[in-house]
């Protein structure tokens, strides 16, 4: 798995109108341009925000992908929460979880 590659794909979609058009027309063709694991590819093609979050995708990049997919802000936030419940803690990246989902953190 390469978090960098997943984020590069999403960054490209966020910044390049031709990439957006290609993704909207034939998502699998666009995804094939990147060296993704089966899990990553499925998350992109299924527009699984929760899985992408758990894989470690940066929220600043992910929120633009969610908007491209027509997902409203409140729903986007809930999909990330649901992803942690469904798939477990964030695995890597800046949001990697160092506690269990039911643990209190620093007086919270």
Percent pLDDT > 90 in the chain is 79
Give pLDDT tens digits for 4-16.
Answer: 999 999 999 999 9
Q: What tokens does 28 get?
A: 């699998």
Contact 5, 34 (CB under 8 A): yes
- Per-residue model confidence as pLDDT tens digits over 48-86: 999 999 999 999 999 999 999 999 999 999 999 999 999
The domain defined by 3-87 carries CATH number 1.10.700.10 = yes
Separation of CA 93 from chain center: 12
- How far CA 37 is from CA of 28, 34, 41, 57, 70, in Å, comes to 13, 9, 6, 14, 25
Tell me how far apart the alpha carbons of residues 50 and 85 are, in angstroms, rounded to a whole number: 9
Cα(first)–Cα(last) distance of the chain, in Å?
33
């Amino acid at each position: 798995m390469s978090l960098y590659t997943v984020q590069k794909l999403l960054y490209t979609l966020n910044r390049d109108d031709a990439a957006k058009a290609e993704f909207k027309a034939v998502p699998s063709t666009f995804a094939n341009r990147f060296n993704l694991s089966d899990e990553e590819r499925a998350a992109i093609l299924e527009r699984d925000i929760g899985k992408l979050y758990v894989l470690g995708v940066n929220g600043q990049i992910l929120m633009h992908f969610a908007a491209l997919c027509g997902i409203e802000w409140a729903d986007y936030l809930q999909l990330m929460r649901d992803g942690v419940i469904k798939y477990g803690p964030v695995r890597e990246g800046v949001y990697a979880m160092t506690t269990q989902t039911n643990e209190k953190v620093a007086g919270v």
